[in-house]
Amino acid sequence: MTTSPIAWKPASDQKFQDILFDKAEGVARITINRPERHNAFRPETLDEMMTALHLARLDPEVGAIILTGAGDKAFCSGGDQKIRGEDGGYRDSHGVNHLNALDLQRMIRTLPKPVVAMVAGWAIGGGHVLHLVCDLTIAAENARFGQTGPKVGSFDAGYGAGLMSRAVGLKKAKEIWFLCRQYDAKEALEMGLVNTVVPLERLEEETMQWCREMLRHSPTALRVLKAGFNADSDGLAGVQELAGNATALFYMTQEGQEGRDAFVEKRPPDFSKFTRRP
């Protein structure tokens, strides 16, 4: 990728091994930094991504988050097959097996700021599901997409299947999973897998431009819209997320605060002054 004209600076003091974490203009960027394995993730990579996402969530300067991969050959090639164990997961450096990509997926879904996948090269296997769970995907012309699970002895029948069929339709989603074909950026755009496709050299600028446009808009509106978009496919956990926003907004009203004040002042609450709106 070409040298960036964006003034990226470290987003935290935390030391990471598998990712880079920086920010600029109100946007945090998390980069999977394992290009020698096409940015395949191992358990430690996913833990670090979750830590960075948490920090980005807490950072009041950050209004949008970009997920990407180092270099221009791959966004992410999914679980690192070279450390896949026999005991139901991917081995960490202590020999413990994990399937923590699923935790990361849920975290992206519930993060109350837009998460944008910036995809150059391969987004394949669990790396394909990773871009799918992001809110938006900006792809370079060299991006290639697909699932490999049934070929390499794996599957993601959760978000990997469910969100895919919502994005591209049931028949196409089954084709993608059952046949394990690869699709170029143009095909991905046509089937609704990505939001736009740009030349590789414009990928970062275009992604930042989409983030800048979102940053001009109401953070609460974006937050509640994201929860609303996800609510039905996330079941009661989705309703919980959406309802949590209602609670937060209610806490900001005089009506909500009357209940708190009455308790603290040891008096009965007086809700009579609050309108029963039509």
Chain residues binding ligand LW2Y6JES by CB under 6 A are 37-38, 40, 77-82, 90, 99-102, 122, 124-126, 129, 148-149, 152, 154, 156
The secondary structure of 10-47 as a DSSP string is ES-S---SSEEEEEETTEEEEEE--GGGTT-B-HHHHH
Three-class secondary structure of residue 129 per DSSP = helix
Instruction: Look at residue 215 and give its three-state secondary structure.
Output: helix
Q: How far is the CB of 184 from ligand LW2Y6JES (least distance, A)?
A: 13
CB of 53 to ligand LW2Y6JES, least distance (A): 16
Give the Cα separation of 40 and 165 in Å (integer). Answer: 24
Q: In whole angstroms, how close is the CB of 79 to ligand LW2Y6JES at the nearest point?
A: 3
The amino acid at 77 = S
Q: By three-state DSSP, how is residue 136 classified?
A: strand
Closer CB to ligand LW2Y6JES, 27 or 104, in the complex: 104
* 8 A C-beta contact, residue 65 and residue 29: yes
CB of 73 to ligand LW2Y6JES, least distance (A): 7
Residue (23 or 128) nearer to ligand LW2Y6JES, CB: 128
| Nearer to ligand LW2Y6JES among residue 1 and residue 24 (C-beta) | 1
Residue 6 assigned to a binding site: no
Q: Is 93 annotated as a binding residue?
A: no
Question: What angle, 0 to 180 degrees and rounded to 10, lies between the N-to-C axes of helices 43-58 and 101-110?
Answer: 20
Nearer to ligand LW2Y6JES, 122 or 183 (CB): 122
Length of the chain as a residue count:
278
Nearer to ligand LW2Y6JES, 114 or 121 (CB): 121
Count of CA atoms in the C-beta half-sphere (13 A) of 42: 18
Could you list the residues known to form a binding site for substrate, using ranges: 77-81, 90, 122-126, 148, 154, 251, 266
Could you list the residues known to form a binding site for hydrogencarbonate, using ranges: 147-149
